[in-house]
Amino acid sequence: MADVTRRIGLSLGADICWPIAFTEILKRLDLAVPVGGDTVRFEVERMTIDPFDLREPKRYDVVVDRLTHWYHTRREWIKKAVLMDDVYVFNNPWTVQSVEKLSAYAGMIRLGFPIPKTWLVPPHAYEPSDDLDYTLRTYARHFDLGAIGSELGYPMYMKPYDGGGWRAVSRIHDEPALRATYDDSGKLVMTLQESIEPHDHFVRCIGLGPQTRLVRYDAGAPHHDRYTDSSPDDYLSADDRAVIEGTTLIINAFFGWDFNSCELLHRSGGERGGADGGGGAGAGGGGADAWVPIDFANPCPDSQVTSIHYHFPWVIEANLRWALFAAATGRRVKRVDWDSFIARVEPGMTLRERIDALLPLVHERFDTAAFEDFCGEHLSHLHEVTHGWFGTDAARDAVRQKVVAVFPEHEVDEFTDLFFSRLQQWRDRNPVEGE
């Protein structure tokens, strides 16, 4: 029987609040988990940016990564560490790098989900390069933007194929606006997409391993109020929830994403036909009343208390559970296995049938049963500890540090109070059992 320490590395950018919560709560958990005859303890460390030798021994067992989507040194370190040292990382770094918003739509169309009609158009302008002139003169054909507009119908959306934080997203009402917006789009590679409207709900579903959290999103509200705190049971049926949570988990398991969010709009009747799972592929559920996923290539979504406020403690708990499970069990990054998913769906299946056919595979890939056993056996005190920590001055200070970083000085007190009060709301509504 040996004492073993598993180290969780936090790969961070401008993250302030959640690493504090993660670290402090882990300390308070005071874990010593028996695994195969050993006693496993856990440490958490913020990773620094250094030169590295491909053959250096690993320092981390699990990496919670928020940096690789824009910081290449870390991305390459993570890929090496997965390949050479069996480091587990949320999320699969290869699919984070290569599956953009557009190819994520393609994957889900293939599985028969009701993805809106979507086109890609070549960019309006290009970075100069030696072969560019010849290539474009020879192969880039004039195309009729207006015809694509008519095919999609108005209003429609123009947005970059790789998405990200509402950058260059336009809602377009007619052909002149489509032409003008395209003419202004420069070197961005743009998608044109049917608009899902009218819609009566906008929901984000956060997935963390096999865990999900539904958050109603109010796109028109100021940034700090966009994630609302209403309970999903107030506005969603059990069937709605099954579709939203199932869709999110299937996306995440399919692409190898541990931590991702899926945005869905609920189309509420109306005149237009529309998202039908890809040109009549027969997705089912794509008619007037459908949950339409519009943006779901968001591996490592916003985790800041200033945007997710009320939901922040849930994310911390879920993050800790999944990281600790992965560290304790020596979890390894699984190879992406699209074929197994594709083999389980058949033409003519309804959306619910597809989800039901795919979920067992999802749970196999996430090892959900083993995860739930682990949480039940070793983390039964997690909620009590989290609940306690979020009532402390240290938690308030973590909130304040983030607020200082994003709000002007004269608003710091007001917004610290606001976000901290939402954490207290979460504590009130999620009491510790037996209290």
Ligand X SMILES: Nc1ncnc2c1ncn2[C@@H]1O[C@H](COP(=O)(O)OP(=O)(O)O)[C@@H](O)[C@H]1O
Stretch 372-391: interaction string toward ligand X, x if CB under 6 A = --------------------
**Angle separating helix axes 17-29 and 312-329, nearest 10 degrees:** 60
Q: Across the chain, how many H-helices and E-strands are there?
A: 16, 13
Choices 140-148, 195-203, 384-392, 419-427; region in contact with ligand X by CB under 6 A: 195-203
Window 225 to 284, contacts with ligand X (CB under 6 A):
263, 265
The distance of closest approach from Cβ of residue 167 to ligand X in the complex, given in angstroms and rounded to an integer, is 6
Q: How many other CB atoms sit within 10 Å of the CB of residue 82? A: 18
Residue nearest to Mg ion (CB): 295
Q: Is 196 within 8 Å of 288 (Cβ atoms)?
A: no
Residues in contact with 60: Cβ distance below 8 Å, sequence separation at least 6, in sequence order: 7, 8, 9, 45, 47, 81, 87
148 sits near ligand X (criterion: CB under 6 A): no
Binding residue (CB under 6 A) for ligand X from 18, 88, 94, 157 = 157
294 sits near ligand X (criterion: CB under 6 A): yes
Residue nearest to ligand X (CB): 163
> What is the rounded (10 degree) CA torsion for 66, 70, 72, 76?
40
Binding residue (CB under 5 A) for Mg ion from 295, 327, 329, 382 = 295
Q: Between residues 164 and 232, which has the closer beta carbon with respect to ligand X?
A: 164
The distance of closest approach from Cβ of residue 219 to ligand X in the complex, given in angstroms and rounded to an integer, is 4
100 sits near Mg ion (criterion: CB under 5 A): no
Q: What is the DSSP code string of 66-118?
A: SSTTT-HHHHHHHHHHHHHH--EEES-HHHHHH--HHHHHHHHHHTT--PPPE
Choices 32-40, 122-130, 155-163, 312-320; region in contact with ligand X by CB under 6 A: 155-163
The distance of closest approach from Cβ of residue 365 to Mg ion in the complex, given in angstroms and rounded to an integer, is 25
167 sits near ligand X (criterion: CB under 6 A): yes
Q: How many other CB atoms sit within 10 Å of the CB of residue 201? A: 16
Binding residue (CB under 6 A) for ligand X from 102, 115, 172, 196 = 196
24 sits near ligand X (criterion: CB under 6 A): no
Choices 13-21, 193-201, 307-315, 382-390; region in contact with ligand X by CB under 6 A: 193-201
Q: How many CA atoms lie within 13 A of 270 on its CB side?
A: 17
Q: How many other CB atoms sit within 10 Å of the CB of residue 397? A: 13
Choices 173-181, 192-200, 323-331, 405-413; region in contact with ligand X by CB under 6 A: 192-200
Q: Which does 313 bind (CB under 5 to 8 A by kind): ligand X, Mg ion, none?
A: none
Residues in contact with 256: Cβ distance below 8 Å, sequence separation at least 6, in sequence order: 91, 92, 94, 95, 333, 334, 336
The distance of closest approach from Cβ of residue 194 to ligand X in the complex, given in angstroms and rounded to an integer, is 6
295 sits near ligand X (criterion: CB under 6 A): yes
Q: Which does 157 bind (CB under 5 to 8 A by kind): ligand X, Mg ion, none?
A: ligand X
The distance of closest approach from Cβ of residue 204 to Mg ion in the complex, given in angstroms and rounded to an integer, is 8
d(CA 426, CA 431): 9
If we measure between CA atoms, which residue out of 339, 260, 321 comes closest to residue 293?
260
Window 320 to 349, contacts with Mg ion (CB under 5 A):
none
Q: Is 37 within 8 Å of 334 (Cβ atoms)?
A: no
Q: What is the DSSP code string of 133-177?
A: HHHHHHH-----HHHHHHHH-SSEEEEETT--TTTT-EEE-SHHH
> Which residue ranges make up the site for Mg ion (CB under 5 A)?
295
> Which residue ranges make up the site for ligand X (CB under 6 A)?
116, 157, 159, 163-167, 169, 193-197, 219, 263, 265, 294-295
